[in-house]
Structure 1
């Protein structure tokens, strides 16, 4: 399900065709994850800056299928070209993890009017940023481990909601796009849960999280966070230690992501449906 400019109609995007032809295609199949980011323009900060496909990641029994689950920054920023590309790619469902305040401020974007199913499931109902973590650590630098522990706290507190997101992915008819404002923290937690349930290894889950780093300079400028104090810089970074910290806390203190979600209602049937939708089996090797 790869979008092509030919399916969109006359190209009225000044200079964008040339830029897109030279860019890495976010739907291009590849055997391993690589730094592929959205169709947006990091120079002008227009469009989706942190859009990527969760396909091609090693999991138990194979790799994740391309074109089934996408993760992104704020979908209200999508350009007309990006909307057409997503529809061409088979997008049927959007999961919006932003807070009610963020949605009221930025809007939902243009896809609702195009018949795409929308689900607003605020992972952090009161705020999009871990301000509570900063308050608890006043006077101390926020480390990747601390932010990772906060991710784990969010996972534990929101486990039923996370199960609901996975159930939506399991039963959706087309591609599902999960997004928050930057596509880093909340979308990162959802992606980590999904990949872990499918059997992705710790290193591959961390690798997917860190791929956001490529988009962060433009995202920081867009969000007015280009200059932040050194002691809280990790909050606007995608440090591997953050996701590793989340997984460590959940594994050592709560039995792991799958155990946490299982206690919150994730069933074997839903897991099986997720595997049917998302896992491409690795071909068996034949002896010479």
Structure 2
């Protein structure tokens, strides 16, 4: 484990981790221990790493940018027998923030649409990892909200979950945001400084109000543009075989 230029990082348990099990999907209910969404797994303690592995974790999908990974590395899970897949959904976090100087739930929703448009191949790769990993796959970014939320939405769409249930899952992060900001400050502070952003300004720019708006914009836009909301993923190589495997694994005990 290496923590580069980030002396204030404190290892701790995730504060935005949840198993997607229990959500209604095509043919039944998504089983537990297929897919876990979470905030930054690079920051977990040794004890939490052991608990996750003991509970069946076999693969991690890291959606963070190279800059983020360069600060905190892989953390204690990097020394465990867990497959690691770095699949960045944004190549340059700084560029994304410069393009969106004012954060609103509406602008975040638009950024999710852009993420599906530009990172569909990466999303397909991530879905294949979930489909073909033998145990539980956990996927994360920093907060476990935006990039993680988009991948969770794509997985749930493929499995046949309703838009309402996808939004409900996404919005569970809302109450966790204060704890997320505190937990990730040791990484995000150095990252924002390196990119030339003021940490306090960035924190104050986070939108208030119900965050469900962002996910509803993504889902509505995909349906309006494509009819089939996973059409961009199909165009990027998502196969019927992978969809079938995900749906079978989602329902198998």
TM range (shorter): 0.7 to 0.9
Deviations 1:159-206 (A, max 9, x none): 011001001111001100101111111110000000011111011000
Residue 166 of structure 2 corresponds to 205
1:213 Cα deviation after fit: 1.6
1:146 Cα deviation after fit: 2.1
The structure-2 alpha-carbon separation of the partners of 1:216 and 1:45, relative to structure 1 and needing over 3 Å to count, comes to farther
1:60 is aligned to 2:26: yes
- Larger RCO (CA within 8 A; separation ≥ 6): 2
For residues 210 and 205 of structure 2, the distance between their equivalents in structure 1, rounded to whole angstroms, comes to 13
Residue 103 of structure 1 corresponds to 69
Residue 128 of structure 2 corresponds to 167
The answer to whether the Cα contact below 8 Å between 2:11 and 2:43 also exists between their aligned partners in 1 is: no
Residue 271 of structure 1 corresponds to 243
The residue correspondences of 1:73-84 to structure 2 (distance < 5 A) are: 73-84=39-50
For residues 77 and 39 of structure 2, the distance between their equivalents in structure 1, rounded to whole angstroms, comes to 14
Q: Does 252-261 or 117-126 show the bigger shift?
A: 252-261
Tell me the TM-score normalized by structure 2.
0.84
The answer to whether the Cα contact below 8 Å between 2:11 and 2:44 also exists between their aligned partners in 1 is: no
1:155 to 112, 116, 140: 116
For residues 261 and 51 of structure 1, the distance between their equivalents in structure 2, rounded to whole angstroms, comes to 25
Q: Which structure: larger Rg?
A: 1
1:183 to 144, 158, 165: 144
Q: CA RMSD in A?
A: 2.4
Residue 216 of structure 2 corresponds to 244
2:51 to 85, 105, 111: 85
1:50 Cα deviation after fit: 1.0
For residues 228 and 254 of structure 1, the distance between their equivalents in structure 2, rounded to whole angstroms, comes to 37
1:120 is aligned to 2:120: no
Paired residues in the alignment total 232
Higher helix proportion (structure 1 or 2): 2
Tell me the TM-score normalized by structure 1.
0.74
Residue 205 of structure 2 corresponds to 232
Residue 218 of structure 1 corresponds to 179
Residue 255 of structure 1 corresponds to 227
1:280 Cα deviation after fit: 5.6
> What runs of 5+ residues in structure 2 fail to find an aligned partner?
1-9, 190-198
The structure-2 alpha-carbon separation of the partners of 1:237 and 1:179, relative to structure 1 and needing over 3 Å to count, comes to farther
